[in-house]
Amino acid sequence: MRRITSITLGLALTTGLAARGESADQLWSKKVQPLFDLHCVKCHGPLEQKSGLELDRTEAVLKGGDEGLVVVPGDATKSRLVRYLAPDADPHMPPKKQLSEADRAAVAEWVIALKSAPAASAAAPAKAPRPAKKYETLTAAIDGWIAEGWAERGIQPSAPATDPVWCRRVYLDLAGRIPTAQELAEFLAAPADTRRAALVDRLLSAPEYAVRMRELWDVFLMGRPKRDSHEDRRRQNGWWSFLETAFRENRPWDETVRALLIGRPSRPEDKGASWFLYERRNEHQQIAEAVAPVVYGTKIDCAQCHDHPLTREIKQAHYWGLVAAFNRSKNVDGGSEVGESAIGGFINFTNLKKESQPAVVLLLNGRKVDEVRPAADQKESDSDALYVDPKAKAKVPKQSRREAFAEAATRDNPLLARAFVNRMWAALIGRGVVHPADEMNGRNPPSHPELLDALATGFAADHHDIRHLLRAILLSRVYGLSGGVTVPDAFASAPERPLTAEQIARSWCVALGRPTDQDSLRRAVVQALPDVLPRDYNATFQQAQFLANSPAFAEILKPVEGGAIRRIASLPDPEERVRQTFLAVYGRTPDAEELRASVSLLKPKGNPPADAAAGVSDLFWALLTSAEFLTLP
């Protein structure tokens, strides 16, 4: 009775939820598959199928196992998969664990929703793609596919963002800072029908754009430096300059990636590219794990010891093939060059069945770099004849495995374009078309497949033109929405994206009327707020402590000649001081309640001139550490 009661209570909940319109496919991808991945797939998935049952794909669940069907579509009470999850079930699943009531309800909800799913879903062929459509521009394609998604799901998108909000957003995304009051005024004074396109074009050509893109891609490619000395080495060895030059000159993305994979700067524009490999200090597995999200769009770390436990297309051979692509490489002492041997580097890997297999350079897209592997009893012989210049400090083999992989990974590899457009969509919109942005694989289907195809094919056809791609996204309807609608993968509103450390430091300086090149402040904020595109943002106590007690932040809050605090403190009217502070920080005026509370903060408590500056400084601190300031609008 307790088991039946538990299921009945769950059904009462899930029936109401299913009535809200979530399809079986949506329930599977959002709730059930992540649940099974965590608790069930280890024993019922690609690596092991106890009782002949697989729970990693809908079609496999519906097929059942050795003992027959485990799901009756539409009837959770008759589905063994649901019954075995009850607290007192015998047998009980998962063994030695207990799912929560909410988790059990989610499984029951999915089973109920299967009743109204198309009959073909039981056999699980892929959903037929929509008919191909032609759009005049990439921006039109973005707007078209997103609008179709809203219509299918019955979602009403948020209203368009106001021009001041949109202006602030695009400055943060392209310049890495908020606009000055003058820049905002100039934008609002421009013709309404062309002002947005004109601002995007201007910012994409500005020096700040290259710096902002370098800040993002330095972290995407290398991770946050753990110490100042690591950051200094990237700067001193040309890595930052390499990235900034690539974005400033709008170098095709495939060329940029090829340069950093080969790591042999033979042209001025490639100087510094070798640091991508060099910083990893001959750790070839680390190199492979860093390369995979760039050229494939997904991490492959989980395939080191066995085929990927969740994603069937990622094999152990892909992991070790990528390691093999770089295991002839070795750092040259006294610089940042990475040499490469012409021989050796032939390794084997062992799977879970203790079977040894040769590691060949096999790409995730199916391509293979062909090599003649020496026989087991054959000893290779190194010689000067195998190198372009045998006397060079960093030797370059005539047959370079690293270069062969770089060519295969950046020419006719559609995954390269998909990885880049999805990452930039996530950076500008707040969430990837595939989420998480660096896990584009079978476990994470795109929310808008046709949109991802349009972005990737358009980017590749346009010779990997980064500015053209960004312009299309920035001028789209979805980028220009206000906040409000809370369906993350529908892109029906603008999410509140946390600012990066560099955006925060630079924007503090703009608001306070201080020079933006405050490097000690930037370094301090980077150490306190290191995340860039976090999967789930959670503020920490240490971050709060930094905002309250940072000496670097306190330093720029001091009233100085020519700064905003001294200028505003000189105004005789407290209400005007408040209005000017809000304009400097938020680009807007305060509402009535904000005005009242802020004026009370500015009431003089001692010597009026000195107290005025102290009060304005306190108000700046309160606004500059607020959620409204620390997130993109």
Residue 355: count of CB within 10 angstroms of its CB = 9
- Mean of the pLDDT values across residues 576-588? 96
Rounded-to-integer distance, Cα 112 and Cα 128, Å = 23
Which of the listed residues 444, 473, 495 is the one where a domain comes to its end?
Answer: 495
What is the token pair recorded at 248? 């400033």
According to DSSP, residue 68 is labeled B
Which residues, other chains included, contact 569 with Cβ-Cβ below 8 Å and sequence gap of 6+? 559, 577, 609, 612, 613, 615, 616
- Residue 520 has a pLDDT of 94
348 and 320 in a common domain: yes
Share of the chain above pLDDT 70, in %: 93
- Mean of the pLDDT values across residues 424-448? 94
Find the angle CA(586)-CA(504)-CA(205) to the nearest 5 degrees. 90
What is the token pair recorded at 14? 């899930």
pLDDT tens for each residue of 475-484 = 999 999 999 8
260 and 390 in a common domain: yes
Between 54-68, 545-559, 577-591, the lowest mean confidence (pLDDT) is in 54-68
Q: Which of 28-32, 43-47, 441-445, 585-589 has the highest mean pLDDT?
A: 585-589
- Residue 8 has a pLDDT of 37
E strand or H helix that includes residue 461: helix 449-461
Of the pLDDT bands very low, low, confident and very high (cuts 50, 70, 90), residue 172 is: very high
Q: How far is CA 249 from CA 172, 241, 424, 465, in A?
A: 21, 12, 18, 11
Residue 220 lies in a domain: no
Which residues, other chains included, contact 258 with Cβ-Cβ below 8 Å and sequence gap of 6+? 406, 407, 409, 410
pLDDT > 60? residue 124:
no
448 and 354 in a common domain: no
Rounded-to-integer distance, Cα 632 and Cα 628, Å = 8
Residue 221 lies in a domain: no
pLDDT > 70? residue 128:
no
480 and 547 in a common domain: no
Residue 214 lies in a domain: no
387 and 336 in a common domain: yes
- Residue 404 has a pLDDT of 96
Between 85-89, 361-365, 557-561, the lowest mean confidence (pLDDT) is in 85-89
Question: By three-state DSSP, how is residue 256 classified?
Answer: helix
In order, the DSSP letters of 347-415 are: -EEE-TT--EEE---B-TTS-B----PPPTTPPP---GGGBS-TT-SS--BSS-HHHHHHHHHHSS-HH
pLDDT tens for each residue of 286-303 = 999 999 999 999 999 989
462 and 337 in a common domain: no
- Residue 74 has a pLDDT of 86
Of the pLDDT bands very low, low, confident and very high (cuts 50, 70, 90), residue 419 is: very high
- Residue 92 has a pLDDT of 81
pLDDT tens for each residue of 365-402 = 989 999 888 887 888 999 999 999 999 999 999 999 99
- In 3D space, the residue among 288, 266, 293, 292 whose CA is nearest the CA of residue 277 turns out to be 288
405 and 301 in a common domain: yes
pLDDT > 90? residue 200:
yes
What is the token pair recorded at 210? 């290259």
pLDDT tens for each residue of 455-467 = 999 999 999 999 9
Q: How far is CA 118 from CA 23, 122, 126, 625, in A?
A: 10, 8, 12, 51
Which of the listed residues 495, 514, 542 is the one where a domain comes to its end?
Answer: 495
396 and 421 in a common domain: no
- Residue 15 has a pLDDT of 43
- Residue 499 has a pLDDT of 95
Residue 140 lies in a domain: no
Residue 128 lies in a domain: no
Question: Mean pLDDT across the chain, nearest whole number?
Answer: 89
pLDDT > 70? residue 62:
yes
Considering all CA atoms of the chain, what is the largest pairwise distance in Å, rounded to the nearest integer?
91
365 and 332 in a common domain: yes
Rounded-to-integer distance, Cα 335 and Cα 279, Å = 11
487 and 553 in a common domain: no
- Residue 4 has a pLDDT of 36
- Residue 125 has a pLDDT of 43
> Which residues make beta-bridge pairs with 329?
340
pLDDT > 90? residue 447:
yes
Which residues, other chains included, contact 440 with Cβ-Cβ below 8 Å and sequence gap of 6+? 296, 297, 298, 415, 418, 419, 422, 432, 434, 446
Query: Count of domains in the chain?
Result: 5
Residue 210 lies in a domain: no
Residues 102-121 as b/e (b if ≥16 CB within 10 A, e otherwise) read ebbbbbbbbbbbbeebeeeb
- Residue 65 has a pLDDT of 81
pLDDT tens for each residue of 30-42 = 788 778 777 887 7
- Mean of the pLDDT values across residues 59-76? 84
Residue 615 lies in a domain: yes
Residue 136 lies in a domain: no
Q: Which domain holds residue 315?
A: 228-237+251-410
Residue type, 408: A
Of the pLDDT bands very low, low, confident and very high (cuts 50, 70, 90), residue 1 is: very low
CA 430 to chain centre: 8
437 and 514 in a common domain: no
Which of the listed residues 360, 392, 410 is the one where a domain comes to its end?
Answer: 410
> Which residues make beta-bridge pairs with 301?
none
pLDDT > 70? residue 87:
yes
Question: By three-state DSSP, how is residue 439 classified?
Answer: strand
Of the pLDDT bands very low, low, confident and very high (cuts 50, 70, 90), residue 542 is: confident
Residue 73: count of CB within 10 angstroms of its CB = 20
Strands (E), 533-580: none
441 and 367 in a common domain: no
